Amino acid sequence: MVDAEHAGERLDRALAALAGVARAQAQRWIEDARVRVNGVSARASLKLAAGDRVQADPPETAPSELAAEPIALTLLYEDDALAVIDKPAGLVVHPAPGHPAGTLVNALLHHVRDLAGVGGVARPGIVHRLDRGTSGVMVVAKTDAAHLALSKQFHDHTIERVYLAFARGAPAQSEGRIERAIGRHPTDRKRMSIVTRRGRAAATRWRVLQRFPKSGAVKLEVRPETGRTHQIRVHLSAHALPLLGDDRYGRAGSAFTRGLERPALHAALLGFVHPTNGASLRFEAPLPADLVALEAALARAERKL
């Protein structure tokens, strides 16, 4: 059912967001009469209203043309409907201009059985994304039904997501909530910003886990309530808490970030309802070696006289 967030949007754009697929794929479903609005086939340009019921009947899984690559990947869980992985930092999620291979999708095709084609041949199984530089837990769908069900949970913001982050700053409060719309930066298309012409509602909760006053840094627990592109990085930067190692939304590095080649952000926990059996699942991934080393360096600095 269409909520206020997607009211007024074109059917193809809203369907892509709701189903977690590319807009071009949503348009193909509509052209093939696989999508109905309030029980009736509709055009891609239809403007949706709040309360409209959108139903999709995706085609059978198509074989993928992407190559499976034996890229190292930690598999946390797998069954007939889904797989959960611990994504390493530095790995792009799916092929795109400049990254035709060597992506998480290529690795998944090697490690996960029965994945090819689910969710579209270019992004098989992908329900959500983590930035290239972000490590941590991701869930991957192995059937179209699981893909749609998990995508709906992400859209409805019922997924439990907990990130660990190391940021520059000394907040006066020990916790807070940032609620600022996010959209494309008005002059730099590679960046997102709270200063934008067409922003989408976004909210992020944060809590200080540890302070490192000598380094001017903090370790944070971050819980995004929405899922906008670069949301945590943008919100924390706008709140005077830029992530260490983030050269896009932060500042120049320091002695503590030497050897850190990405933003200090890790998806530590992911909780959701299993799309087939309804079980509540929670998966955790420990801090990777580079962030363990960063935390150790910050702790050492606190012990120095």
Query: Which of 206, 213, 144 is closest to 173 using CA atoms?
Result: 206
CA distance 229 to 180: 13
User: Of the residues 52, 131, 246, 290, which is catalytic?
Assistant: 131
Q: Which two tokens stand for residue 230?
A: 């670069």
- State the DSSP string of 13-73: HHHHHHHTS-HHHHHHHHHTT-EEETTEE--TTPBP-TT--EEE-PPPPPPP-SPP-----
Determine the residue type at 283. F
Residue 290 annotated as catalytic: no
**Is 140 within 8 Å of 108 (Cβ atoms)?**
yes
- State the DSSP string of 165-204: EEEE---SSSEEEEE--BEE-SS-TT-EESS-SS-B--EE
Residue 230 region, left (φ>0) first, then alpha (ψ -120 to 50), else beta?
A: left
Query: Which of 75, 113, 79 is closest to 276 using CA atoms?
Result: 79
Query: Which of 213, 206, 287, 261 is closest to 91 using CA atoms?
Result: 261
- State the DSSP string of 215-239: TTEEEEEEEESS--TTHHHHHHHHT
For 104-136, letters b (16+ CB in 10 Å) and e give bbbbbbebbeebbbbbbbbbbbbbbbbbbbbbb
Instruction: Enter the DSSP assignment of 96.
Output: B
Active site residues: 131
